[in-house]
């Protein structure tokens, strides 16, 4: 017994801050009540009562009976109506309401308090018998289904039966007699199903309804929703008991929903629709077409004026755009609910910007009012609404990289390049992609794959280069004849196809797109964000185009330039392959000598694109076998250019094959075995830097070279000395004054564990959290797709550790590394360049552990800018309730 616990609160006792206890709905109506708004009276039974009920279902009556009866008595006094009193009956709704919105997931009972006696009196008094009997049959139906678990179809069949008898199509066409008939049948059905009479005692109805709503917290769809949204199972729901008001009581009644501003474009002014003589479900069902809210102004100017004032007051009060439900009962306005309204990304920026101008929000508030993940959708073209309405969908996959694109189908990287060179727009369609497809991906407007998840090669690269991508299209099948099918649809090379990377949909033919519209409000809010954030934001970019785009999107430099991506261009891959299969150091050096000027040009273009912004270049990282030819023709060609036999090439390939390439001969291990590669790359970077500095003496050109996959201080020192020696050679022979800094990726657990030692020698750390996550979990990103779903299904993993940084394991290593690194080297520059660098949740962690910068894929840069500002300000974007 918790005699001291208050389980029931009148609306007048609560407020918006009591969300945990009263649920979103209960707190909302309490707050509106406090503000003096016209809210139907009521009280709320707390989430704590629900938790107590879940622990001990038999004890609840003793705990809440008296408080509920007391609250009911107060409610009766306040409304002047009495539950079950035919003369002046109080009818109530019994609604669920959790701390966070779980729309439609739990149950509600309306019109509670009705029995035959009350219904008859009500019909008589109101002069609306149909309404009275309709309300009664609805109540029986809901109570039977929700409280007693009677199959809904039983009642629905009755309605169909009656409509058939009466030869009508719609419920609206049933009259008062029909409703009474239905109520009688429902009562009979109830007795049949439960072996007892429908309860006529309103307090019995009330207590059973409250418990049923408690129970609905654990109905399967609610459980599933919580799992999907990381909501703890032990929160429980509050129950709000509220006087019923009826929008369908008369022609002077009505109901509607409204936003305080336009949720699509953010424009100021009421936006919404309503129906007279209707209930909420009528607005939704579409049987009658609702009217725009503006018409209410002429229909009832005084009421509209009142409503407009309430809306204004609510917006000022909540300091955000509101989404409201209201009901008009016999000309009286009642507010049923208000919450911060959902909106499009465009609207979010517009509203935030306007609210600052209106003095409602500070710039900090505005920056913190927007969910950073919204931004991505704004940066890409999208299909026009018209196109989406008329397009034929062929199938769906994962929304792997946003944007919309139409192009002609090609099935290989080479074809993508060939068609694109002819000036055609293409969509690259592959079973899955490998690094060899990168050239084709660059040439394509979009990429579609049959296999692979959100973190597959195709998805990661597409996001990185800002191409739209739909991955894992299971209906996609490849034929032997160079064509493919999606479901029944045959797709040949050259056929038009359209991808929506934001929704994962695939359309037949060529759909119209419209470009990204970045309104002035976007730029304005982002400039505030830039002022507030502590961390620097850089981009992961490997081409001059990416570099330019990332600067347009606000990157303050490149945090990760993956040099290997430059190797996949056709004119280079050949030299790289010759380097790999070289039989001695001379042959290797000869191939590297061919590559040197190419890499130098790469870096020069990058430096030019950056116009003096910094760039961190990572030495080659992937295992060399990734570069080797896979087709017999390519093998033969390599054999010819190198003067080796096909067998030699195949043997070299076989020797390089690895059991676990992720943990193999890659990263700085390549530089240890082949120092000449590291020398060539360093030389290319430094020579490029020297040339650019010579041509642009006013630019800051300070090369930063990053050594990947370090797990031991000695190997870092070894490769660092190669880099430094080479850099010194280039610099001293150039006569140009440059400083080249050398740092490392922290991406093996051991690097994190020994970061203190490494920091004594390194000038910067960059956390490679993709690999660090793989190694810390012992989980290959390429292989996890096959079983991680089982983990989500069984609730063993809440979220994808490759999308959101795992604070408990990976995060602990990062914190250890930052702390021990800074202890040894207080000015150590520390950043992150894994996929997590563009994830708001992970960016918050980066702020918490004191990183200096985050680096993320180009199109994530604005996301990171906003998220970093929110992290510095210590405020999340509010959830839209």
Interface residue list for a copy of itself (CB under 8 A): 655, 658-665, 667, 669, 672-673, 709, 711-712, 714-715, 718, 747-750, 753-754, 757, 771, 774-780, 782-784, 786-787, 790-791, 794-797, 806, 808-810, 812-813
Residue that has been written with the tokens 């289904």 in this structure? 145
Identify the bridge partners of residue 393 per DSSP, sorted by sequence position: 507
Three-class SS string for 119-138? HHHHHHHHCCHHHHHHHHHH
For 12, counting Cβ atoms within 10 Å of its Cβ (0-12 exposed, 13-18 middle, 19+ buried), the class is middle
Nearer to a copy of itself, 541 or 745 (CB): 745
The three-class DSSP label of residue 35 is coil
Tell me how far, at minimum, the Cβ of 774 lies from a copy of itself, in Å: 6
End-to-end CA distance of the chain: 34
Structure tokens given for 326: 């209201």
Distance CA 370, CA 362 (A): 13
The three-class DSSP label of residue 576 is helix
Nearer to a copy of itself, 153 or 673 (CB): 673
Nearer to a copy of itself, 530 or 658 (CB): 658
Tell me how far, at minimum, the Cβ of 488 lies from a copy of itself, in Å: 22
Distance CA 729, CA 721 (A): 12
Nearest to 447 by CA among 491, 486, 397, 492: 397
Tell me how far, at minimum, the Cβ of 465 lies from a copy of itself, in Å: 22
Nearer to a copy of itself, 815 or 876 (CB): 815
Whether 457 is catalytic: yes
Whether 833 is catalytic: yes
- Whether the CB-CB separation of 602 and 566 falls below 8 Å is answered with yes
- Whether the CB-CB separation of 552 and 865 falls below 8 Å is answered with no
Which of these is catalytic: 380, 442, 457, 825?
A: 457
Tell me how far, at minimum, the Cβ of 790 lies from a copy of itself, in Å: 5
Nearer to a copy of itself, 541 or 742 (CB): 742
Nearer to a copy of itself, 62 or 714 (CB): 714
Identify the bridge partners of residue 506 per DSSP, sorted by sequence position: 395, 499
Do strands 853-857 and 615-618 pair parallel, antiparallel, or not at all (unpaired)?
unpaired
Kind plus residue range of the DSSP H or E element containing 498: strand 496-500
Nearer to a copy of itself, 355 or 758 (CB): 758
Which of these is catalytic: 833, 836, 846, 856?
A: 833
Tell me how far, at minimum, the Cβ of 225 lies from a copy of itself, in Å: 20
Beta strands, E only, 411-493: 426-430, 446-449, 468-471, 476-478, 484-486, 489-491
Distance CA 362, CA 553 (A): 24
In order of 57, 93, 153, the CA distances from 222 in angstroms are 19, 20, 21
Cα 168 from chain centroid? 45
Nearest to 155 by CA among 140, 176, 134, 174: 140
Nearer to a copy of itself, 811 or 862 (CB): 811
- Whether the CB-CB separation of 277 and 253 falls below 8 Å is answered with yes
- Whether the CB-CB separation of 370 and 348 falls below 8 Å is answered with yes
- Whether the CB-CB separation of 501 and 470 falls below 8 Å is answered with yes
Distance CA 331, CA 333 (A): 7
- Whether the CB-CB separation of 140 and 190 falls below 8 Å is answered with yes
Tell me how far, at minimum, the Cβ of 416 lies from a copy of itself, in Å: 24
In DSSP notation, 160-204 reads HHHHHHHT-SSGGG--HHHHHHHHHHHHHHHHHHHSSPPP--HHH
Tell me how far, at minimum, the Cβ of 664 lies from a copy of itself, in Å: 4
Nearer to a copy of itself, 208 or 436 (CB): 436
- Whether the CB-CB separation of 426 and 407 falls below 8 Å is answered with yes
- Whether the CB-CB separation of 766 and 746 falls below 8 Å is answered with yes
Nearer to a copy of itself, 608 or 747 (CB): 747
Taking residue 574's Cβ as centre, other Cβ atoms within 10 Å add up to 19
Distance CA 810, CA 800 (A): 13
Tell me how far, at minimum, the Cβ of 757 lies from a copy of itself, in Å: 8
Tell me how far, at minimum, the Cβ of 619 lies from a copy of itself, in Å: 15
Tell me how far, at minimum, the Cβ of 434 lies from a copy of itself, in Å: 11
Tell me how far, at minimum, the Cβ of 777 lies from a copy of itself, in Å: 5
CA angle (27, 63, 88) in 5-degree steps: 65
- Whether the CB-CB separation of 122 and 157 falls below 8 Å is answered with no
Kind plus residue range of the DSSP H or E element containing 407: strand 404-410
Distance CA 99, CA 101 (A): 7
Tell me how far, at minimum, the Cβ of 588 lies from a copy of itself, in Å: 14
Nearer to a copy of itself, 47 or 776 (CB): 776
Tell me how far, at minimum, the Cβ of 530 lies from a copy of itself, in Å: 35
Nearer to a copy of itself, 291 or 658 (CB): 658
Taking residue 712's Cβ as centre, other Cβ atoms within 10 Å add up to 15
Nearer to a copy of itself, 394 or 810 (CB): 810
- Whether the CB-CB separation of 596 and 686 falls below 8 Å is answered with no
- Whether the CB-CB separation of 800 and 454 falls below 8 Å is answered with yes
Show which residues are catalytic: 457, 833
């Amino acid at each position: 017994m918790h005699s001291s616990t208050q389980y029931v609160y009148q609306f007048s006792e609560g407020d918006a801050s009591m969300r945990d206890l009263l649920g979103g709905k209960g707190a909302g109506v309490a707050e509106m009540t406090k503000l003096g708004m016209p809210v139907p009276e009521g009280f709320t039974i707390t989430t704590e009562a629900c938790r107590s009920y879940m622990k001990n279902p038999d004890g609840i009556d003793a705990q809440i009976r008296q408080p509920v009866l007391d609250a009911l008595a107060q409610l009766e006094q306040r409304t002047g109506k009495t539950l079950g009193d035919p003369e002046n009956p109080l009818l109530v709704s019994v609604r669920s309401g959790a701390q966070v919105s779980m729309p439609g997931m739990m149950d509600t009972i309306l019109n509670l308090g009705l029995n035959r006696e009350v219904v008859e009196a009500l019909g008589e008094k109101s002069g609306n018998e149909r309404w009275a009997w309709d309300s009664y049959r609805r109540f029986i139906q809901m109570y039977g289904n929700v409280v007693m678990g009677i199959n809904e179809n039983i009642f629905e069949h009755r309605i169909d039966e009656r409509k058939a008898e009466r030869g009508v199509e719609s419920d609206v066409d049933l009259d008062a007699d029909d409703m009474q008939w239905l109520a009688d049948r429902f009562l009979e059905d109830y007795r049949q199903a439960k072996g007892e009479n429908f309860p006529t005692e309103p307090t019995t109805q009330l207590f059973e309804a409250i418990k049923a709503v408690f129970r609905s917290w654990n109905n399967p769809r609610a459980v599933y929703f919580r799992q999907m949204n990381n909501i703890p199972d032990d929160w429980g729901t509050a129950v709000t008991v509220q006087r019923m008001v009826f929008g369908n009581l008369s022609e002077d009644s009505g109901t509607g929903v409204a936003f305080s501003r336009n949720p699509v474009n953010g424009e100021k002014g009421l936006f919404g629709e309503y129906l007279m003589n209707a209930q909420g479900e009528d607005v939704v069902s579409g049987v009658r077409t609702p009217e725009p809210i503006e018409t209410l102004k002429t229909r009832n100017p005084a009421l509209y004026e009142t409503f407009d004032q309430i809306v204004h007051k609510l917006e000022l009060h909540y300091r955000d755009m509101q989404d409201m439900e209201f009901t008009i009962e016999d000309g009286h306005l009642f507010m049923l609910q208000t919450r911060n309204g959902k909106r499009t990304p465009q609207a979010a920026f517009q509203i935030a910007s306007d609210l600052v101008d209106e003095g409602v929000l500070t710039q900090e508030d505005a920056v913190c009012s927007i969910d950073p993940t919204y931004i991505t959708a704004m940066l890409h073209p999208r299909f026009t609404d018209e196109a989406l309405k008329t397009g034929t969908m062929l199938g769906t996959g994962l929304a792997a990289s946003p944007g919309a694109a139409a192009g002609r189908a090609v099935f290989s990287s080479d074809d993508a390049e060939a068609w694109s060179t002819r000036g055609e727009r293409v969509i690259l369609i592959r079973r899955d992609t490998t690094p060899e497809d990168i050239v084709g991906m660059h040439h394509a407007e979009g990429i579609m794959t049959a296999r692979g998840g959100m973190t597959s090669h195709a998805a990661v690269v597409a996001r990185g280069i800002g191409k739209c991508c739909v991955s894992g299209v299971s209906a996609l099948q490849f034929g032997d004849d160079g064509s493919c099918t999606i479901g029944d649809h045959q797709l040949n090379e050259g056929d038009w196809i359209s991808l929506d990377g934001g929704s994962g949909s695939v359309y037949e033919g060529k759909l119209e797109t419209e470009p990204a519209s970045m309104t002035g409000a976007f730029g304005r809010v982002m400039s505030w964000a830039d002022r507030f954030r502590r961390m620097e934001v850089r981009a992961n970019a490997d081409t001059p185009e990416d570099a330019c785009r990332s600067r347009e999107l606000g990157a303050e430099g490149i945090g990760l330039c993956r040099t290997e991506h430059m190797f996949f261009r056709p004119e280079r891959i050949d030299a790289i392959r010759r380097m790999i299969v070289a039989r001695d150091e001379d042959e290797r050096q000869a191939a590297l000598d061919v590559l040197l000027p190419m890499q130098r040009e790469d870096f020069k273009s990058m430096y030019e694109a950056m116009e003096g912004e910094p760039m961190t270049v990572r030495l080659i990282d992937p295992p060399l076998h990734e570069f080797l030819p896979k087709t017999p023709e390519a093998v033969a060609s390599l054999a010819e250019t190198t003067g080796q036999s096909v067998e030699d090439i195949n043997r070299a390939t076989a020797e390089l094959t690895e059991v676990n390439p992720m943990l193999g001969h890659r990263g700085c291990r390549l530089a240890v075995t082949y120092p000449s590669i590291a020398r060539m790359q360093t030389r290319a970077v430094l020579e490029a830097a020297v040339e650019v500095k010579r041509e642009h003496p006013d630019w800051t050109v300070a090369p930063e070279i990053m050594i990947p996959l370090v797990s031991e201080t000695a190997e870092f020192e070894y490769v660092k000395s190669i880099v430094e020696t080479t850099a010194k050679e280039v610099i001293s022979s150039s006569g140009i004054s440059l400083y080249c800094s050398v740092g490392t990726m922290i991406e093996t657990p051991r690097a994190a564990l020994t970061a203190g030692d490494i920091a004594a020698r390194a000038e910067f750390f960059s956390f490679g959290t993709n690999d660090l996550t793989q190694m810390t979990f012992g989980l290959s990103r390429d292989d996890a797709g096959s079983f991680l779903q089982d983990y989500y299904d069984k609730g063993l993993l809440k979220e994808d550790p490759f999308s959101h940084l795992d604070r408990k394991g990976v995060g602990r290593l990062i914190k250890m590394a930052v702390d021990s690194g800074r202890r040894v080297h207080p000015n150590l520059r520390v950043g992150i360049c894994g996929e997590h660098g563009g994830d708001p949740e992970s960016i918050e962690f980066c702020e918490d552990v004191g990183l200096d910068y985050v680096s993320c894929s180009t199109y994530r840069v604005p996301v990171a800018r906003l998220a970093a500002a929110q992290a510095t300000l210590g405020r999340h974007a509010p959830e839209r309730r």
